[in-house]
């Protein structure tokens, strides 16, 4: 579904990704871990189409298409979804209106009929129940005045409604209490499907207690320095990221 080859990227003349290679097949769940500044969030943002980063080398193929040539909205319509680490507030725009506009943009792109308010409400109700959320959330402005946990759950609701092929969760677990974490994990598990790939970008192992990944990758200084299965995450948890420091190929600092 997704193949990343030799991806390098910089922001403000600082090289952040130094060559990423990664292959993700439909049905798989990948966890990307790493310390702060390792480049894992940058990777997520580049896949989602954030333009503040400049790709300097490499390519990304998604379902046979050159992903890097598509705009952010085209990627979204093709089925790439990113749950934001810091979801953005849109005052005065109701959550349900926003969700419907987003879903209809995706449906239109796929040649499906756009949903009217009645049909859409039925769809969103079903998802809300599936995720154990309250409908009150729908009438509020997008993320405005939401608690940290509500914002993250709202991202998951959007994911559930948009039913992406590739879902990237950028530190969705950070800032969640244990109940919210469990709820998010349950929702992610409910979204697992043979047609869908899920990428969990996370700093901590604890989300992986509830969502079992098929693969775990560890990033450091802009590279994937170790890949393995869930055992790798547990090992990291025991030993900390310092354990991997020797794995990083020597790079002269300030080289970019």
Partner 1 sequence: MSTAIDEIENLTRQEYKYGFVTVIETDSVAPGLNEDVIRAISARKREPDWLLEWRLKAYRQWLTMKEPTWANVKYPPIDYQSIVYYSAPKSLNDRPKSLEEVDPELIRTYERLGIPLREQQLLAGVAVDAVFDSVSVATTFKEKLAALGVIFCSFSEAVREHPELVRRYLGTVVPYSDNFFAALNSAVFSDGSFCYVPRGVRCPMELSTYFRINARDTGQFERTLIIADEGACVSYLEGCTAPIRDSNQLHAAVVELIAHDDAVIKYSTVQNWYPGDKQGRGGIYNFVTKRGKCLGRNSRISWTQLETGSAITWKYPSCLLIGDGSVGEFYSVAVTNNCQQADTGTKMIHIGRNTRSTIVSKGISAGHGQNSYRGMVKIQKSAEGARNLSQCDSLLIGNECGAHTFPYLEVKNSSAQVEHEASVSRIGEDQIFYCRQRGLSAEDAVSMIISGFTRQVVRELPLEFAVEAQRLLSVSLEGSVG
Q: Which residues in this chain contact partner 1 in the complex, by CB under 8 A?
A: 48-52, 71-73, 75-77, 81-82, 84, 87-93, 98, 101-103, 105-106, 109, 141-142, 158, 162
**Smallest distance from the beta carbon of 175 to partner 1, in angstroms?**
18
Q: Which is nearer to partner 1, 101 or 249 (CB)?
A: 101
DSSP character string of 197-237 = EEEEEESSSGGGGTS--SEEEEEETTEEEEEESHHHHHHHH
CA neighbor of 23 nearest in space, from 7, 40, 4: 4
Q: Which is nearer to partner 1, 51 or 179 (CB)?
A: 51
**Smallest distance from the beta carbon of 158 to partner 1, in angstroms?**
7
Characterize 136-153 residue by residue with b for buried, 16 or more Cβ atoms within 10 angstroms of its Cβ, and e for exposed. ebbeebbbeebeebbbbb
**Smallest distance from the beta carbon of 94 to partner 1, in angstroms?**
8
Dist CA 53 CA 50 (whole Å):
7
Q: Which is nearer to partner 1, 40 or 226 (CB)?
A: 40
CA neighbor of 170 nearest in space, from 140, 207, 137: 207
Q: Which is nearer to partner 1, 162 or 211 (CB)?
A: 162
Q: Give alpha helix (H) positions in the chain.
A: 40-48, 72-78, 95-109, 117-131, 136-139, 148-162, 178-191, 230-239
Q: Which is nearer to partner 1, 97 or 210 (CB)?
A: 97
**Smallest distance from the beta carbon of 223 to partner 1, in angstroms?**
25
**Smallest distance from the beta carbon of 66 to partner 1, in angstroms?**
17
């Amino acid at each position: 579904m997704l193949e990343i080859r030799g991806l390098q990227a910089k922001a403000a003349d600082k090289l952040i990704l130094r060559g990423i290679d990664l292959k993700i097949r439909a049905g798989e769940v990948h966890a990307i871990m790493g310390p702060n500044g390792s480049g894992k969030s940058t990777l997520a943002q580049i896949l989602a189409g954030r333009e503040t980063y400049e790709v300097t080398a490499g390519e990304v193929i998604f379902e046979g298409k050159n992903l890097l040539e598509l705009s952010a909205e085209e990627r979204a319509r093709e089925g790439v979804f990113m749950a934001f680490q810091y979801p953005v507030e849109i005052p005065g725009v109701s959550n349900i209106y926003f969700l419907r506009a987003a879903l209809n943009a995706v449906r239109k792109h796929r040649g499906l009929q756009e949903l009217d308010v009645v049909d859409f409400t039925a769809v969103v109700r079903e998802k809300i129940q599936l995720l154990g959320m309250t409908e009150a959330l729908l009438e509020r402005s997008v993320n405005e005045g939401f608690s940290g946990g509500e914002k993250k759950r709202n991202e998951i609701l959007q994911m559930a409604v948009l039913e992406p092929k590739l879902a990237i969760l950028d530190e969705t677990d950070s800032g969640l209490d244990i109940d919210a974490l469990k709820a998010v994990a349950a929702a992610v598990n409910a979204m697992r499907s043979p047609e869908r790939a899920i990428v969990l970008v996370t700093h901590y192992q604890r989300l992986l207690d509830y969502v079992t990944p098929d693969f775990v990758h560890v990033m450091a200084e802009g590279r994937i320095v170790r890949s393995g299965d869930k055992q790798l995450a547990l090992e990291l948890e025991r030993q900390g990221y310092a354990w991997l420091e020797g794995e990083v190929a020597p790079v002269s600092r300030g080289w970019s």
